[in-house]
Amino acid sequence: MAIYTKTGDKGTTATLYGERVSKASLIIQLNGEIDEVNASIGYLSSLVHSNKKIQPMKKKDIIELLQWIENGLYNMGVEVSSNFKDIKFTEEHVQLLEEKINDMTDRMPPQRSFIIYSGTEDATYAQLVRAIVRRCERLFVEFLEDINITSYPQSYMFMNRLSDYLFTLSRYINFLSNDVEIKTSEWK
């Protein structure tokens, strides 16, 4: 079976339920942003795997959660494509991310100032993924407003928490790698 179908050669694509829409529509743009987040997390996972400074069991825990997040993002695309008729996310998914954030935070020294995104390659890339998530989150809000959803779905809340998780993960990776956080200073 060929990967190409040629059905999108005129600038349209199909939604989950087969409706043809413009590739420039918000639903397709949002799914593209979710896909970019997912691909970025896959690459982050490979960078964590390559970090020789992190103990194998800690590395395994991080990678397993990143893969769980990737699977969740696939399911988020299903929710979006169905205009939230096929709900996949629950409050428990959001709570699990919050628990992971709290667990990592409890293991590290407290953050007392703003930091420059630095450290190991995987830690700095986690910050880049965080910024990609924030862009996706902004488009998610635009899409929800466009389809007149007044009660934001758990999948949106998960995306919001995901950026917090990635920020904390970046710090945690540097912590596990014995890398120093660089504090911001007044610019002169």
Tens of each residue's pLDDT in the chain, 188 residues: 788 888 788 899 888 888 899 999 999 999 999 999 999 999 999 999 999 999 999 999 999 999 999 999 999 999 999 989 999 999 999 999 999 999 999 999 998 888 889 999 999 999 999 999 999 999 999 999 999 998 999 999 999 999 999 999 999 999 999 988 888 887 77
pLDDT reported for residue 155: 98
Tell whether 89 is covered by a domain.
yes
Tell whether 65 is covered by a domain.
yes
pLDDT reported for residue 16: 80
Tell whether 36 is covered by a domain.
no
Tell whether 116 is covered by a domain.
yes
Nearest to 72 by CA among 96, 52, 55, 50: 96
Per the structure, the complete domain to which residue 166 belongs is given by 51-179
CA–CA separation, 70 and 56 (whole Å):
21
Tell whether 92 is covered by a domain.
yes
Tell whether 27 is covered by a domain.
no
The structural domain count of the chain equals 1
Task: Enter the pTM of the model.
Answer: 0.94
The CATH number that applies at residue 141 is 1.20.1200.10
CA–CA separation, 158 and 137 (whole Å):
10
Nearest to 8 by CA among 35, 36, 28, 38: 28
CA–CA separation, 160 and 172 (whole Å):
19
CA–CA separation, 67 and 80 (whole Å):
20
